Structure 1
């Protein structure tokens, strides 16, 4: 499961609110209060979140990376052992994206949390402005062929809902309701490809039965194929399937390769 929200708040401000437990009730309204061993999250921070009606949920922070603006935890209570990953990404032109990813078995347990989590992330990124400088994030549009556009529309895939963004640390792909998020350093290589059959690539993302790669294709002519050092989830809502590569039919494959710092 992956949910995300985009808003005008600067990524530094979102990161601060995301990692200071005493601010959580101000943007996550299901949280009534938090007891934590640290004022700012760090690996090994433990505590208790008090949810609706004061129901307590214990947590342990397992990883914090301020450079990537990412942190992870495991929670207890009725969802004992469930893991969650949290990321903050700068957005093109300023603003930010807040991302929550729940992998594997944990995702099946927490599907009911999708809607309240989305609402909370929207509030997290909503306050405008901030003190940091605008970070360089390049956005790449998909090139839609008419026949692919018609097939994708039924799945919520349009030029307004499909983009690839490359920031200083993160690669972000939106394709209708599907998302792929991974550090830029996880992209191992790139290659321009094409000649796709419409029946195999039009519509929603397609999973290769041969190598489990994922295709985000809006035309059959040209795309950029990315390979990853570590496979990345995207296609299924439980994040159980991971992909060693992704194909994206952006209008400027060469520009995307350059933004990723990789040679063709």
Structure 2
């Protein structure tokens, strides 16, 4: 078992430079015109039921679990001279994803019966570099299918493939809603833009190959429209956050600021923590926490208790701090009062989850009594197993 694991890791490492070289070569010699545009998004860009995703086994990596902004993208290609109907085209695509996927990406089915794509099937998408990503089919009808990312994917979100008749042409579209899956992915995706360009290259090739599968030709190239939405979506932007979040008349009861000790503010700014970049926002299903460079999405059903605690010794409650005693995480901005959340299942926070998970979380927010009351379950919630599924 150990030998096989080392072989797999070695093969993956060796595949990175070759795969990246192939992507770069294809990018430089692309002949299909690309029409790219990008603009600021809004809450309207969120997919339906984004915060109440059906997740029976706790493995789905939804938008709330991601890091950084949401990118809502639509890739569109118009296909001329095809005799296929939209349903026939999507049936052909679903029958063999690798016929339309570029050479750099391979779909390997890991769960489900042999044959065409079906609802509930799972795939591992193998790509150049460390981008391999597990996905699950969460929607399928005659003219479309939809995939959702699973734990361990480079991204957190979902993607939909669809075809429609548009006059005498076929219109094929890929619509994605995605955030970076973790902080490393955020660096590669949104800062260095490396992973972002690889993904764009992959899906534009997918559109071109789908046109070929339809027996037609792309008309006018491929159009890629991107809308970028800062996260969490309940806060409009850093420019307006100072006004909206700190106005006591306009402040939403589901939003909580961190209370800062004045003397510690300059130190916390070194790690990006300020009144604008730190806050807690509640949705019906999640607690969304921003603390400078750190982002945590916590399912409310994972909270065992929420209690008010404090005061603390200053060195124990300022900044992002790990408890050596129990691996608990404190996000501290003052030493007076805080809310301590004990969790049913440990979560990632300070570091990626495969390195460290925390069984409890302490937040030095304003109105701690109110936050604790909102997060205290009104009835005893069920225990969760290791996969996050409720025990009977």
TM-score (norm 2): 0.43
Match of 1:200 among 307, 312, 316: 316
Give per-residue Cα distances to partners, 1:80-138, cap 9 Å, x unaligned.
765226259xxxxxxxx964434xxxx87996345346899x945549xxxxxxxx981
Does the CA contact (< 8 Å) of 2:332 and 2:362 recur in 1? yes
- 1:154 paired with 2:267, answer no
Q: Secondary structure at the match of 1:255?
A: helix
Q: 1:248 to 1:74 in 2, by over 3 A?
A: farther
Matches within 5 A, 1:33-72: 47=97, 50=101, 55-58=104-107
TM-superposed deviation, 1:258: 2.2
Q: Secondary structure at the match of 2:373?
A: helix
Q: C-alpha separation between the residues in 1 aligned to 2:181 and 2:260?
A: 28
Structure possessing the higher radius of gyration over alpha carbons: 2
TM-superposed deviation, 1:162: 0.3
Q: Which structure 1 residue ranges, 5 or more long, are not aligned?
A: 1-5, 20-24, 33-38, 40-44, 63-71, 89-96, 128-135
Corresponding residue for residue 383 of structure 2: none
- 1:76 paired with 2:192, answer no
Q: 1:123 to 1:170 in 2, by over 3 A?
A: farther
Give per-residue Cα distances to partners, 1:57-76, cap 9 Å, x unaligned.
436698xxxxxxxxx97432
Q: C-alpha separation between the residues in 2 aligned to 1:221 and 1:57?
A: 54
TM-superposed deviation, 1:153: 1.4
Corresponding residue for residue 42 of structure 2: 8
Corresponding residue for residue 164 of structure 2: none
Give per-residue Cα distances to partners, 1:181-236, cap 9 Å, x unaligned.
12111111011111222223323x11111111110111001000001111110101
Count of residue pairs the alignment pairs up: 208
Corresponding residue for residue 260 of structure 1: 375
Q: 1:235 to 1:151 in 2, by over 3 A?
A: same
Q: Secondary structure at the match of 1:150?
A: helix
TM-score (norm 1): 0.62
TM-superposed deviation, 1:168: 0.4
Q: Which structure 2 residue ranges, 5 or more long, are not aligned?
A: 1-39, 51-61, 64-70, 78-89, 112-121, 134-151, 159-176, 200-224, 231-251, 379-392
Corresponding residue for residue 165 of structure 1: 281
Corresponding residue for residue 219 of structure 1: 334
Q: 1:58 to 1:165 in 2, by over 3 A?
A: same
Does the CA contact (< 8 Å) of 1:137 and 1:168 recur in 2? no
Q: 1:59 to 1:154 in 2, by over 3 A?
A: farther
- 1:145 paired with 2:215, answer no
Corresponding residue for residue 119 of structure 2: none
- 1:86 paired with 2:156, answer yes
Q: C-alpha separation between the residues in 2 aligned to 1:98 and 1:26?
A: 7
Q: 1:114 to 1:244 in 2, by over 3 A?
A: farther
Give per-residue Cα distances to partners, 1:12-48, cap 9 Å, x unaligned.
3595xx99xxxxx97288x99xxxxxx8xxxxx9946
Does the CA contact (< 8 Å) of 1:148 and 1:198 recur in 2? no
